[in-house]
Chain A
Amino acid sequence: MIKVNNIKKSFGEPPIEVLHGISFEIPEKQFVSITGKSGSGKSTLLYSMSTLDHPTSGEVFFDGVEIASMSDKEVHEFRNLKMGFIFQFHYLLPELSALENVLMPARRTGQHTVRYQRGVELLTQFGLSNKLDRLPKQLSGGEQQRVAIARALIQEPKYVFADEPTGNLDSTNGEIVMNLLKTATRDGNTTVIYVTHDPDFAALADKRIVLKDGNLSATEF
């Protein structure tokens, strides 16, 4: 469960406030969209609640633990074991094959041999069974993003954050990606929070967070 309590975020000097105090709760196993117009603070909200960025004020709790109270080491462990990230760009490591990329988070704790089978299964499930050993540059954009999703899911994370995961894809590939994420929520014990500006993809969500000019304009279930 994620609890966001009155978070504000400012940038620059003099500070310009982008988020004006946002609060909401997300229960377990949800498929959550964050929508809003360009510049409404969607991505800022996503990163501020995901530990990658720090809110200027306010608290974020994961399962009752406040992020700010965790040590640097604990934050990194938490990210490694409990979180997955998907970005608009795939950010695959160009030197590694698809499967090696997928296993990279597990490699940090030496779990890549244990997770190997899961890596293969995920890629197979994503329709890449014959491309396990391809380098990223030998894959299409849609395939690259699927590998990135498999990488985000390899540790069976409790939370997945996705920043416009379909932003760089055509509609067919976008749909494939969204379906994969939706399936992950349904089949795994995972909450997916994604930013999108596509109303069709936003409609897939169990819960929708809509931002307007840095304020929460609606939460819909």
Chain B
Amino acid sequence: MLFLAFRHIFARPKQSLLTLLGVALGTTAFITFAAIMTGFQSFIIDQLVNNDAYVKISAKEKMVTEKDLNESLFKDKIHTFWTTSPSGRQESAKINYPLGWYKKLDNDSRVVAYTPLIGAMVLYIKGGISISGKLQGVDPISQVKVTNIMNYIIAGDYQSLSGGGNKIIIGQGLLGKMGAKLNDSILISVGKADPIPFKVSGVFKTGIMTLDDTFGYAYIRDVQRALSRPSEITDIAIRLTDVSESLGFADEYGEFTDEKVQSWEQSNANILSVFSLQNFIRTFITIAIMIVASFGIYNILNILVNQKRKDIGILRSFGYDAGEIQNLFMIQGLFLGITGGIIGLFFGFVMSLYLSTLRIGGMTDKLMINFSLELYSMGILMAVAASVISSYLPARAAGKLNPIDIVRSGE
């Protein structure tokens, strides 16, 4: 039936071409949308995962209770009575026993590296300008094994932090807001003491505004001293061999500790929920486009089957059976669908190539485009599925036509 199916297709080139274009357009749109969206998403996820940590153990802010005070103030008393119960919060949260964690992490084969951190909200001051931001105390040597921060240094040297001496690596945006430049000295105020001078020894730019506009990295001991919290840390950032193990790893560690253990998915749940909304909308749009394309095939085949009643009748009379007639039309629908799909993949690819050269400025400068095989297989799969579904009904109707009704009616 292949022979006749192709004769049918090429006997009405305009109709066939239009149907083909419908599917091709749908597939192109799918590939282009999906390439932009998933490209962007995987870029962001990559940033989230690699700039922060796969898993982070963080100190929990604790409330102060009666029991805490009894234990620290009146340990030798048997009974303590309060006229007004004490309430409040611990001034600063810290990880209670970092060494215990280090030991455990050292012995876990899933862990590639970990690094201690101390974070604090500070004021960055330069001249009359003060900007609130976050200062993170890091150990530069282990830090680079956990995150990709090294890749984003655009001036200075990250390792200049080690050894102390109040140096700071600062986000490009933050530096700009202060009107400072590399090797300038800026003041950092932690709130309780006089501002401490730090020297800008490096600048980073990740493309993520929340980081670039508010973050500074300094050597961990310098920050501890500035905060008057010697040898305290607030977080441990961990990198695992396999990023997909993060969630399980966090759950497992979170079970036996008071401290907060979060995988990157948990700490970025808000962003990920935006992504899932995006994906939902994309799926919805794609389905809408494919339905339109499917209707194209369905309509054309339905009309064709009606126009071809006589042909079907005569084919049946010389022995072609219902299945063969059904095939005649299925082949046409599938051919149009699959060819349209392939053309769509090609144009989707061309569009993606073009888009990937556009400079849009902003956080990534260029659009992040997904060129994965998975995306393209998905595209062709959708085109095939749409054409199978939309060809089946008209083709089956054609197979069911009774030859005697056709030849008798003598149309």
Contact = CB atoms under 8 A, between A and B. Distances in A.
Interface residues of A, number: 32
A72 B407 CA distance: 20
B318 A85 contact: yes
A91 interface: yes
A96 B318 contact: no
B319 A87 contact: no
B324 A108 contact: yes
Given A88-B410, A93-B4, A93-B311, A47 B404 contact: yes
A85 B3 contact: no
A43 to B, nearest CB: 7
Nearest to A87: B407
B320 A89 contact: no
Question: B-side binding surface: helix, strand, loop or mixed?
Answer: helix
Nearest to B403: A52
Interface string B391-411: 000000000000110011010
Given A43-B408, A52-B407, A53-B404, A91 B318 contact: no
B260 interface: no
Contact of A91 (B313, B319, B321, B324): B313
Contact of A93 (B314, B319, B324, B404): B314
A14 B304 CA distance: 34
A91 B315 CA distance: 9
Interface stretch (A76-84, A115-123, A192-200): A76-84
Q: Which interface residue of A87, A92, A152 has the most chain B CB atoms within 10 A?
A: A87
A83 B313 CA distance: 15
Contact of A76 (B8, B311, B321, B404): B321
Q: Which interface residue of B4, B311, B320, B407 has the most chain A CB atoms within 10 A?
A: B407
Contacts of A93: 4, 7, 311, 314-315
Interface string A34-52: 0000000001000100001
Contacts of B403: 52
B320 A96 contact: no
Interface string B313-352: 1111111110010000000000000000000000000000
Contacts of B8: 95
B11 interface: yes
A104 interface: yes
B60 interface: no
Contact of A107 (B3, B11, B410): B3
A72 B321 contact: yes
A140 B31 CA distance: 52
A79 B313 contact: no
Given A47-B408, A88-B410, A95-B11, A108 B320 contact: yes
B117 to A, nearest CB: 75
A143 interface: no
B124 to A, nearest CB: 78
B310 interface: yes
Contacts of A72: 321
B319 A77 contact: yes
Given A91-B311, A93-B4, A93-B311, A104 B407 contact: no
A80 B407 CA distance: 17
B318 A94 contact: no
A80 B318 contact: yes
A148 B194 CA distance: 106
Nearest to A88: B410
Nearest to B318: A105
A156 interface: no
A108 B317 CA distance: 12
A59 interface: no
A79 B319 contact: yes
Nearest to B307: A94
Q: Which interface residue of B3, B315, B317 has the most chain A CB atoms within 10 A?
A: B317
A22 B313 CA distance: 26
A76 B320 contact: yes
A91 B11 contact: no
Contact of B407 (A73, A96, A163): A163
Nearest to B406: A91
Contacts of B318: 79-80, 83-85, 104-105, 108, 151-152, 155
Given A47-B408, A52-B404, A91-B311, A85 B4 contact: no
A45 to B, nearest CB: 13
Given A72-B321, A80-B319, A81-B319, A96 B404 contact: no
A187 B310 CA distance: 31
B324 to A, nearest CB: 7
A219 to B, nearest CB: 25
A72 B323 CA distance: 11
Nearest to A81: B319
A96 B321 contact: no
A87 B316 CA distance: 13
Contacts of A53: 404
Contacts of A83: 318-319
Nearest to B6: A95
Interface string A13-42: 000000000000000000000000000000
A166 to B, nearest CB: 14
A142 to B, nearest CB: 18
A176 to B, nearest CB: 21
A85 B404 CA distance: 12
Interface of B: 3-4, 7-8, 11, 310-311, 313-321, 324, 403-404, 407-408, 410
Given A53-B404, A85-B314, 7 more contacts: A78-B319, A80-B318, A80-B319, A80-B320, A93-B315, A105-B318, A108-B320
Give the top 3 A-B pairs by smallest Cβ distance, nearest first. A80-B319, A91-B314, A95-B7
